[in-house]
């Protein structure tokens, strides 16, 4: 009997091994098949279609594996990487297969002006090849029109519009609600203009916040008008006047907004999507299968040109680029946020790479943890100590902690519309003793020192705790100033005069010495190469990112196939549909989450609540 059972068990074990082998072969075949089809063939003559989805960002948030499967299920596709757009347009400029560029912004939700300027520069450079750029849209907002204005031809739908509403900064103020709830927000700060905490201690905008907001929003609007007017062959004052009279002009045109756009010379013509397709077909030919023009989308084109670039690259010298995008938080953080430990580790790896001749830090951050900012700051100093240059390129926002990590750079570049500065420190945390009083709950007890129990959320902050926190904040501000004094080679008095938590637009930041040069990301890369003694064309640009696990590598390579299989098998659920609808509440949700992270009495923050889009 035991012999028979042994035979059965050995047979089952053998079957298990066979099935295991078959499963591995199936997975291997799936991966190989996906990889073989991941590089599509391009037609000999086509238009490259640039169609950003969601917000254009410096770095996509989250881990690659999660993003891949989210996209496969039809969700999470709400960000487009700026580098993908500019790389594709740059490659298309000299690619004989690409005969035209089509810009379609109907699915784009927005971006900061510096980000838009990087994209517009790429479009302008593409036009130098002599190939046409066609922009179309159902309607153009302030952000989408900034890029569209740089096209050869702009077409708006007959029912469309061009709405240039300017810039604004409105915030919700919660002090009235907190008072009714009996919640006190305990704030300790240095900097007359450090307005990050104002929504919790005021019911309206302070005069200092109003002053700086008027100044930097005015600078942003002026740079916007200059760039768009220049692209359309207008004078800034003409464009300003047309924006000011837009409502009257639409009323006079009986509500025909597309007609007003045409009369204002903001568009080339009024055409439906089908009419635009016919126009592009004249340039690149018709696709017999689709009946539209021959087109290549961004994803397919990038697979081809990046694969081709990998095969022909051979430069030994490299300029490394680290993207620091999002809030600055302690520890190791995923993409879309800046981890003190994770970003410092990337800089350390760069320092230990002898082939890396220079480092560019691309910053798009409102700041955050002072501790994490200091961690990154020290690693940048260590990189510079090797004799290699560090150049900072500022994106939409490099303020407060974002400026802290820029301070040690040899050279700082910004866009005229970058929001920077906000050199100040604060700490804030809530106490709810008044709320407890309202419902009849009291707190009493004893402690052994003047600080015992003074950091409890259910008790008011005592004098010893307040003195300790304010002293710590003052020291933090002095340390912040010291970092800027050393990096900018200015006196403490000069830096303090332009600090105090005040926000500056890039054009003003250069004037007062917080920024060295105004220009693009590519300008900053070239500056780093020059400082390293590298000739143009004799170096490669290497974006340094955390190494992916094998699972993430597979996910990135097979996500196109997965989108067909996983997406079909697991369509978006009702819950996911509701989540998409709830995105309208994301700004409030982000602010509450941000304060939940900051509501700690033993942490200092250098943060700027100063985005302008």
pLDDT tens digits along 450-473 = 999 998 999 999 999 999 999 999
pLDDT tens digits along 419-439 = 999 999 988 889 999 999 999
Residue 27 pLDDT class (50, 70, 90 cuts): low
More confident of the two residues 301 and 195: 301
Q: Check if 400 is active-site.
A: yes
Q: Are 276 and 134 in contact (CB under 8 A)?
A: yes
How would DSSP label each residue in 430-468? EE-HHHHHHTT-------SSTTTTTT-TTSPPPHHHHHH
Q: Are 123 and 88 in contact (CB under 8 A)?
A: no
pLDDT tens digits along 114-135 = 999 999 999 999 999 999 999 9
Instruction: Tell how strand 108-110 and strand 540-543 pair up.
Output: unpaired
Phi, then psi, of 347 in degrees rounded to 5? -65, -40
Residue 313 confidence (pLDDT) above 90: no
**pLDDT at 546 (0 to 100):** 84
Q: What is the mean pLDDT of residues 281-304?
A: 94
Give a yes or no: residue 508 inside a domain: yes
Residue 601 confidence (pLDDT) above 70: no
Phi, then psi, of 175 in degrees rounded to 5? -60, -40
Residue 73 confidence (pLDDT) above 80: no
Q: What proportions of the chain, in percent to the nearest 5, are helix, strand and coil?
A: 50, 20, 35
Q: What is the mean pLDDT of residues 330-359?
A: 95
Return d(Cα 504, Cα 410) in angstroms, integer.
20
Give a yes or no: residue 502 inside a domain: yes
**pLDDT at 566 (0 to 100):** 41
What does the block give as tokens for 33?
């098949």
- Which segment, 16-25, 156-165, 592-601, is predicted with the most confidence on average? 156-165
75 CB-side CA count, 13 A: 18
Owner of token pair 């993207």: 323
pLDDT tens digits along 486-531 = 999 999 999 999 999 999 999 999 999 999 999 999 999 999 999 9
Give a yes or no: residue 160 inside a domain: no
Q: Are 53 and 301 in contact (CB under 8 A)?
A: no
Residue 308 pLDDT class (50, 70, 90 cuts): confident
* Tally of structural domains, the chain: 1
Q: Which residues sit opposite 344 in a β-bridge? A: none
Q: Where are the alpha helices (DSSP H) in 264-405?
A: 273-284, 298-312, 340-351, 370-384, 401-404
**pLDDT at 590 (0 to 100):** 61
Contacts of 26 (CB under 8 A, 6+ apart): none
What does the block give as tokens for 230?
């220049």
Q: Tell me what percent of the residues of the chain surpass a pLDDT of 90.
A: 73
Q: Is the dihedral of CA 582, 584, 590, 592 positive or negative?
A: negative
**pLDDT at 587 (0 to 100):** 55
Residue 565 pLDDT class (50, 70, 90 cuts): very low
Catalytic residue among 131, 132, 194, 490: 194
Give a yes or no: residue 101 inside a domain: no
Residues present in the chain in total:
613
Residue 74 pLDDT class (50, 70, 90 cuts): low
Residue 255 pLDDT class (50, 70, 90 cuts): very high
Residue 569 pLDDT class (50, 70, 90 cuts): very low
Using alpha carbons, select from 41, 21, 17 the residue that is nearest to residue 29.
21
Q: Which residues sit opposite 135 in a β-bridge? A: 103, 154
Q: Tell me what percent of the residues of the chain surpass a pLDDT of 70.
A: 81
Give a yes or no: residue 137 inside a domain: no
Per DSSP, 535 falls in state: P
Give a yes or no: residue 544 inside a domain: yes
Residue 597 confidence (pLDDT) above 80: no
pLDDT tens digits along 576-595 = 444 555 555 555 556 656 65
Residue 562 pLDDT class (50, 70, 90 cuts): very low
Using alpha carbons, select from 111, 213, 114 the residue that is nearest to residue 170.
213
**pLDDT at 324 (0 to 100):** 97
Using alpha carbons, select from 383, 368, 370, 372 the residue that is nearest to residue 322.
383
Give a yes or no: residue 498 inside a domain: yes
Residue 87 confidence (pLDDT) above 80: yes
Residue 552 confidence (pLDDT) above 80: no
Give the CA distances from residue 334 to residues 76, 406, 588, in Å, rounded to whole numbers and listed in that order: 16, 21, 22
Q: What is the mean pLDDT of residues 67-92?
A: 79
Residue 9 pLDDT class (50, 70, 90 cuts): low
Catalytic residue among 141, 195, 400, 415: 400
Give the CA distances from residue 404 to residues 198, 331, 400, 485, 535, in Å, rounded to whole numbers and listed in that order: 22, 17, 6, 11, 31
What does the block give as tokens for 310?
């990998």
Contacts of 284 (CB under 8 A, 6+ apart): 45, 46, 47, 99, 100, 293, 294, 295
Return d(Cα 470, Cα 241) in angstroms, integer.
49
Q: Which residues sit opposite 31 in a β-bridge? A: none
Contacts of 415 (CB under 8 A, 6+ apart): 113, 114, 117, 118, 394, 395, 396, 506, 518, 519, 520
Q: What domain range includes position 375?
A: 316-424+458-548
What does the block give as tokens for 232?
């359309």
Q: What is the mean pLDDT of residues 196-207?
A: 92
Q: Check if 206 is active-site.
A: no
Give the CA distances from residue 254 to residues 250, 251, 266, 419, in Å, rounded to whole numbers and listed in that order: 6, 5, 19, 39
pLDDT tens digits along 134-156 = 999 999 999 999 999 999 999 99
pTM of the full structure:
0.85
Mean pLDDT (the chain, rounded): 87
Give a yes or no: residue 465 inside a domain: yes
pLDDT tens digits along 314-339 = 667 899 999 999 999 999 999 999 99
What does the block give as tokens for 559?
């996500």
**pLDDT at 340 (0 to 100):** 96
pLDDT tens digits along 209-248 = 999 999 999 999 999 999 999 999 999 999 999 999 999 9
* CATH at residue 354: 3.90.226.10
């Amino acid at each position: 009997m035991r012999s028979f059972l042994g035979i059965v068990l050995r047979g089952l074990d053998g079957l298990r091994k066979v099935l295991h082998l078959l499963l591995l072969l199936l997975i291997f075949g799936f991966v190989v098949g996906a990889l073989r089809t991941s590089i599509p063939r391009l037609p000999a003559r086509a238009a490259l279609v640039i169609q950003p989805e969601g917000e254009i960002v410096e770095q996509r948030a989250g881990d690659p594996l999660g993003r891949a499967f989210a996209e496969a299920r039809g969700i999470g596709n709400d960000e487009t990487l700026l580098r993908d757009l500019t790389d594709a347009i740059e490659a298309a400029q000299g690619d004989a297969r690409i005969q035209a560029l089509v810009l379609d912004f109907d699915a784009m939700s927005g971006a900061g002006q510096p980000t838009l300027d990087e994209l517009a520069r790429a479009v302008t450079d593409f036009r130098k090849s002599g190939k046409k750029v066609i922009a179309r849209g159902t309607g153009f907002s302030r952000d989408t029109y900034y890029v569209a204005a740089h096209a050869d031809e702009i077409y708006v739908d007959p029912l469309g519009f061009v709405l240039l509403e300017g810039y604004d900064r409105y915030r919700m103020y919660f002090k009235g609600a907190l008072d009714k709830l009996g919640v006190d927000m305990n704030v300790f700060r240095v900097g007359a203009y450090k307005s990050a905490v104002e929504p919790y201690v005021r019911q309206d905008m302070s005069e200092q916040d109003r002053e700086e907001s008027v100044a930097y929003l005015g600078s942003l609007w002026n740079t916007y008008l200059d760039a768009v007017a220049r692209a359309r062959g207008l004078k800034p004052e003409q464009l300003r006047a047309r924006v000011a009279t837009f409502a009257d002009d639409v009323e006079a045109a009986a509500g025909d907004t597309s007609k007003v756009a045409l009369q204002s010379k903001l568009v080339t013509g009024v055409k439906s999507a089908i009419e635009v397709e016919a126009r592009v077909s004249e340039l690149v030919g018709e696709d017999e299968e689709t009946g539209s023009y021959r087109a290549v989308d961004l994803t397919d084109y990038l697979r081809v040109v990046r694969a081709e670039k990998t095969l022909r690259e051979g430069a030994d010298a490299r300029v490394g680029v680290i993207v620091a995008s999002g809030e600055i938080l302690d520890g190791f953080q995923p993409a879309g946020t800046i981890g003190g430990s994770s970003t410092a580790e990337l800089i350390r790896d760069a320092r230990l790479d002898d082939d890396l001749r220079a480092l560019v830090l691309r910053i798009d951050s409102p700041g955050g943890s002072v501790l994490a900012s200091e961690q990154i700051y020290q690693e940048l100093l260590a990189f510079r100590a090797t004799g290699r240059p560090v150049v900072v390129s500022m994106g939409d926002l490099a303020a407060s902690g974002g400026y802290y990590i820029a301070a040690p750079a040899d050279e700082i570049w910004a866009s005229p519309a970058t929001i920077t500065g906000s050199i100040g420190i604060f700490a804030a945390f809530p106490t709810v003793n008044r709320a407890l009083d309202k419902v009849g709950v009291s707190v009493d007890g004893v402690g052994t020192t003047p600080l015992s129990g003074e950091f409890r959320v259910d008790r008011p902050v005592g004098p010893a705790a307040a003195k300790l926190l304010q002293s710590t904040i003052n020291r933090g501000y002095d340390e912040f100033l010291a970092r800027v004094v050393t990096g900018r080679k200015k006196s403490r008095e000069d830096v303090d005069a332009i600090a105090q938590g005040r926000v500056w637009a890039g054009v003003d930041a250069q004037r007062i010495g917080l920024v060295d040069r105004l220009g693009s990301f590519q300008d900053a890369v070239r500056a780093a190469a020059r400082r390293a003694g590298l000739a143009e064309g004799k170096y490669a640009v290497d974006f340094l990112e955390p190494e992916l696990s094998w699972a993430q590598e597979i996910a990135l390579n097979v996500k196109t196939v997965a989108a067909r299989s996983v997406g079909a098998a697991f369509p978006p659920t009702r819950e996911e549909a509701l989540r998409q609808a709830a995105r309208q509440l994301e700004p409030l949700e982000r602010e509450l989450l941000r304060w939940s992270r900051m509501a700690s009495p033993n942490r200092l923050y250098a943060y700027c609540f100063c985005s302008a889009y």
